[in-house]
Chain A
C-alpha cells in the first residue's frame, strides 16, 4: 500500500499557497518586474536560500515522512484519522509502519523550500521596503541624533559710527543730557533665545532619557491648562461604554453619515454576481477616479439606472474633483422605490424607513453622533464640533414620471426618534439616450441634494461678455473648414447653462470639452453641498 508523505504534501501546499498569494498581489506582472530594483531580487534570493536551507536542515526535511496522506478506506488496524469524516473511501492521515510512503527526493524538497521562501520574500519585499532597509544605518548614525547647537561664537563689537561720535562729543560738552542709543552696552541687547530642550552636547544619555521621561510625566499631569490626567481619566471611566463604541465605529470605518436617495428606476445590478464585486470593494475612489466624463447612456432596461449611478458617482464621489464630500457607502440609492416613498416617510417615518431598508443605518449614525456629543461634553471648546442631525442624515426622492412637469424641489420636515429631519422630493420626465437628458439629471440631482443650489453665468466657465448667440455659434459649426480651431468656441458653450442646440449635435458632443464645464459644475456643487451636508 502506498501513500504520499506528509512533508511532501505540506511543501507542495505551501508552494501553491505562496504562488497563489503572489499571483493575487500581482507579483507576476511583467511591468512589476520591470520596475523592480535588482536589490529586491538579490535580497529575496539570499533570504530564500538561507531560510530554505535552515528549515530543510533543522527540520530534517530530507528524511522520509513519518506521517502520510492517502485516499481510501480506513485500515482496521494502525493509526489513521479520517480527514473528511466519512466512513467509506475518504482522505486519511496516518502513520502505519507497513504503508509505503512516497516522498519528494531530498534535493527537490530543498528546492521547494527555497522556492517557498523566495515567494514569501517577493511578496514581502518591494522597492520601498528595500530602500527602508538600506536606510537603517543612516537612522542610527550619530550625526542624525538631535543635539542642541553649540554656543555661537561671540559677535565682533561694532565700531562706533560717526553719529555716535558726534553725540558723545555733544554729551561731553554738555549739550546733551544723555547718550541715548549711543550709550555703551545699549546695542549689546541679548537676544532672547528659546531654551533648547534637546540633548546637550556633553549630556550623558541616561540623564537625557530621564529628562525626557520627567517631561512626559509632567505633560500627563496637565493638558493645556485643562483638567488633570487623573480627573480626565475618572471622567472617561464614567463614559467607558460610549468611548469603546465610538472608537470601534472609527476603527471599523463605519459610514459617518447616512444620506438616502430613493428612485423608481430599476436596480442596475439585480444579479448577485454583479453585486459581489461592489460589496467586497473597500473604498471606491480608485475605480471612480477613472470615470469617463460623459459616457453615452447604455442600452437596455438598466441604461437609465446606470446613467443615474454615473451622475451620482461624478457629483459625490469622484476623487479627481475637489472638495471630497462623501464616501461611497454613505450615500445609499434605493432602487425601485415606490413613487410615493417621500410621502410615506413624511407620514410615518419609522415604519416607512424600516420598509425601505434605511432605518438601521440612520439610527446607527444618529447613535454615533450622540456618542460623540457625549464625549465632546468633556471639553467645552469642542462641544460645537458635533454635526447637526440634518447635516449627517438626509432623504431625497427623484422619481421619473411621464406626466412630470418641471417644478422646484419640495421639502418637508418630519421627526424620527425626537430628531427633526427633512425629506426632499422632485419628479422629472424619464431619461433618454441624448446628452440633454444627462445634463438634466446632473442639474436635478444637484438641486435635490443641495438645498438652494445655484449655477449660473457668474459661476460658469463660459465667458460673461462677448459670447456669440447660440444660433450664430451653431451656424459656425456648419462650415467645413478649421474644424479643430473652431472647436475652441465650445469653451463658451456651457451645456449646463442652456445651449440646447448642442444636444442635437452628436458630432460635437463627442468632442465637447466636458473637463472644463463638468468639472466646474461638480466643484461648485460640492462647495455648496458642503455648506448643508457633511460627515461626523
Chain B
C-alpha cells in the first residue's frame, strides 16, 4: 500500500514537472478567462458599458484607422487600456461605493469588458460583410442602426448554434460552466469554419452577458 502511494506521488510530481509553466492547461485558462469576461460585463453598469462601447467605436473609426491589422489592434489596445486607467472612478462599474477611487477589480472589469467590445469591433466587418453593408445602406435611412441590428442577429444565430450544440451546459449553468461550453464550441467553430476563436467568443459573451439586449436605438 505504502509502495503504491509513493509511486502515485512520484508520478504526480513527474507530471507536474513535464507540463510547461504558464499555459499548462490552455483550455482551462481560456474557459476561466471567458467566465471572467461574462462576470465583468454583467457587473458593469449599463450606462458605463454603453459609454465604453461608444468610446471604442469612435476610436476604432477615427484614431485607430490603419491598413495594417497590427497597428490597428495595437492602437485599440492602447486606447482601451488608457480609457480604463483614466476614467473617473465610480463611473465605470456598479460598485458599492461609486465615489471611491478606482480599485484593482474595477479596473480589471473595465479591461475585460473593453476586451470583448474591442474584439467585437474588430470582427464587425466579418459578421456584416461589405456586400450586406452596402445592401443595408442602400435600403435603410439609418444605416448604422440597421447594421447594429444585423450584427445583433448574427450574434443571436451564433448563440442559438451554441445552445443547440453538445457544448451547451444548460440554461442555469454558472459562468464557469458557460465559459467551458463557449470555449469548446468556439474551438470547434474556429477549427472547421472561417471564424476566429476570439471573434466567436466575444460575440457570444457579449450576447449572453447582456442577456441578448439589442443595442440602444435599435429596438423596434
Residues of A at under 8 Å CB distance from B? Answer: 290-295, 463, 465-468, 478, 481-489, 491-492, 505-507, 510-511, 513-516, 519
Contacts and interface: CB of A to CB of B under 8 A. Distances in A.
A353 B22 CA distance: 52
Interface of B: 20, 22-23, 26-27, 29-30, 33, 37, 68-71, 73-74, 76-77, 80-81, 111, 114-116, 118-119, 122, 187, 190-198, 201-202
A324 to B, nearest CB: 18
Given A482-B77, A483-B33, A484-B201, A468 B194 contact: no
B191 A468 contact: no
Nearest to A461: B69
B77 A485 contact: yes
A482 B23 contact: no
A519 B73 CA distance: 22
Nearest to B78: A482
B194 A482 contact: no
Contacts of A507: 23, 26, 29-30
Contacts of B76: 485
26 contacts: A291-B192, A293-B191, A463-B68, A463-B69, A466-B68, A466-B71, A467-B70, A478-B22, A482-B81, A484-B37, A484-B201, A485-B73, A485-B76, A487-B119, A488-B198, A489-B69, A489-B70, A489-B73, A491-B70, A506-B20, A507-B29, A507-B30, A510-B26, A510-B27, A513-B196, A519-B194
A482 B115 contact: yes
Contacts of A478: 22
A294 B190 CA distance: 10
Given A293-B191, A511-B197, A484 B70 contact: no
Contacts of B37: 484
Contacts of B70: 463, 466-468, 489, 491-492
A484 B116 contact: yes
Contact of B115 (A292, A485, A491, A519): A485
B119 A484 contact: yes
A485 B119 contact: yes
In the A-B complex, list the 9 residue pairs whose CB atoms are closest, starting with the nearest: A507-B26, A507-B23, A511-B197, A484-B119, A487-B198, A484-B198, A485-B118, A466-B68, A515-B194
A505 B20 CA distance: 9
Given A481-B115, A489-B73, A515-B194, 9 more contacts: A293-B192, A463-B69, A482-B111, A487-B198, A488-B119, A492-B68, A507-B23, A514-B190, A514-B191
B192 A485 contact: no
Contact of B80 (A463, A485, A488): A485
A294 B196 contact: no
Contacts of B115: 481-485
Contacts of A291: 192
A478 B20 CA distance: 14
